[in-house]
Structure formats: structure tokens, C-alpha cells
């Protein structure tokens, strides 16, 4: 029922022992895990995951500029340019090394409005300005300037698909059809009010 979305629990989260905590957050809100595995990403897999168009790279550049402004630092000092496409391209180059630096957990989550619900729970890209209560806001303080001073992308723990269309492409990239399991969670009857769980008054 509902949508499916793809989540990567990135190497920093696995290394910091946060995979259980992160999965728990998704489980507790009622999302269903329909596929899961631990992987070492290859360059080919990441090529299949990111479709790095200029528009997407520019978007990363714009976010970086915004993150620097909110953290009170000059984007040109940090990135050596103010051009969003150049900034995005620079970050993209570092992103592969980060994602191949250790094991990741890949999940497919299923549920009502799963794509947007998961993005909200994951939070804003740059942890230093992500809202408290989100995974990135609660478990990291990595900032745009720190990330770029140390020459790495933001270690922000989690990736989540940004649209239903992206989720479909990402799921096919990481999982074969037969690795996605259809099963019924015991609380689905309560959440979605199947007949056997609805209460009737005594004597009805």
C-alpha cells in the first residue's frame, strides 16, 4: 500500500553505530521495510544511483551557497567559486569517495506518502542547519564550511529518494525484483483499520 522509497544509510552512520537507531525511526512511524542489505558501493552502482545532470549539480551548488550563508561563511572562501554548477561538480567528485569509504545499508521502505514522509524525517541536506527531530538534525552537526574545509561532502548519514520517479529508478539500481518482499505487518490492520481489528461494543 502507498509508495516505496529508497534509503541509503551512509558509511558514516554505519561506522558510528547508528544504523539501528535510524532504522528504528522508520519502523516506529509505521513504514514497512520491504528490502534491506549491507553493501560496499562500487563506482558503477553509484553511477546508476545518481543521474548527475547539470540541473541536479546546480541544485547542490545552490544549497551549498544557502548553507554557507546560514552558517555565516563566505561560499567563495570555502568553495573557491560562487558558480553553483562548479560547486555542485566539486562536491559530486567527493561524494563517490565518501559513499565508497565503508559499508552502507540499503533499504526500501513502503508506506503512505513514503517518499515525502521519509525526506521529512531525514531532514535538510546540511546537518548543522537541519531541524532538530530529524535524523540529520539529531545525529550530526556537520556544516557546509567544515565539509568543504576538510574536502568532503557533508557527512549527513542518510540518503532518501527525492521523488516517486527517482525512487523507482533507485530501487531498480540496488535490488532485483525477487529481493523485494511482500509481507503484512501486524499493525497494518490497526493503522489501516482492517475489519478484524475494529472494535465493536459488547453485545453488538
| Residues within the interface to ligand ADP (CB under 6 A) | 59-60, 63-64, 67, 91, 95, 125-126, 144, 147, 153-154, 156, 159, 162
Q: How far is Cα 41 from Cα 63, in angstroms, rounded to an integer? A: 25
Instruction: Count the alpha carbons within 13 Å of 159 in the hemisphere toward its beta carbon.
Output: 23
User: Cβ of residue 109: shortest distance to ligand ADP, in angstroms?
Assistant: 15
Catalytic entry in 49, 51, 113, 159 = 159
Closest residue to ligand ADP in the complex (CB): 64
Q: Whole-number minimum distance, CB 44 to ligand ADP, in Å?
A: 18
Buried b (16+ CB within 10 A) or exposed e, 84-114: bbebbbbbbebbbebbebeebbbbbbbbeeb
Q: What percentage of the chain's residues is helix, strand, coil (to nearest 5)?
A: 50, 15, 35
Q: Nearest to residue 66, comparing CAs of 56, 79, 58, 75?
A: 75
Least distance (Å) between residue 127 CB and ligand ADP: 10
**Closer residue to ligand ADP in complex, CB, 67/111:** 67
Q: Is 51 a catalytic residue?
A: no
Q: Which is nearer to ligand ADP, 137 or 189 (CB)?
A: 137
Indicate the residue among 20 and 151 with the shorter CB distance to ligand ADP.
Answer: 151
Amino acid at each position: 500500500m502507498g509508495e516505496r522509497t529508497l534509503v541509503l544509510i551512509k558509511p558514516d552512520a554505519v561506522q558510528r553505530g547508528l544504523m539501528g537507531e535510524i532504522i528504528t525511526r522508520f519502523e516506529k512511524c509505521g513504514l514497512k521495510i520491504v528490502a534491506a542489505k549491507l553493501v560496499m558501493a562500487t563506482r558503477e552502482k553509484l553511477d546508476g544511483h545518481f543521474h548527475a545532470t547539470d540541473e541536479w549539480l546546480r541544485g547542490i551548488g545552490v544549497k551549498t551557497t544557502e548553507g554557507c550563508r546560514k552558517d555565516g561563511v563566505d561560499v567563495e572562501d570555502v568553495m573557491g567559486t560562487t558558480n553553483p554548477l562548479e560547486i555542485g561538480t566539486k562536491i559530486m567528485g567527493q561524494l563517490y569517495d565518501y559513499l565508497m569509504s565503508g559499508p552502507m545499508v540499503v533499504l526500501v521502505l513502503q508506506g503512505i506518502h513514503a517518499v515525502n514522509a521519509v525526506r521529512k524525517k531525514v531532514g535538510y541536506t546540511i546537518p548543522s542547519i537541519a531541524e532538530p527531530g530529524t535524523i540529520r538534525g539529531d545525529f550530526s552537526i556537520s556544516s557546509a564550511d567544515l565539509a568543504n574545509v576538510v574536502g568532503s561532502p557533508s557527512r549527513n548519514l542518510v540518503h532518501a529518494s527525492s521523488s516517486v520517479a527517482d525512487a523507482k529508478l533507485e530501487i531498480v539500481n540496488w535490488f532485483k525484483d525477487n529481493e523485494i518482499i511482500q509481507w503484512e505487518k501486524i499493525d497494518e490492520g490497526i493503522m489501516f483499520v482492517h475489519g478484524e481489528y475494529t472494535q465493536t461494543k459488547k453485545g453488538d
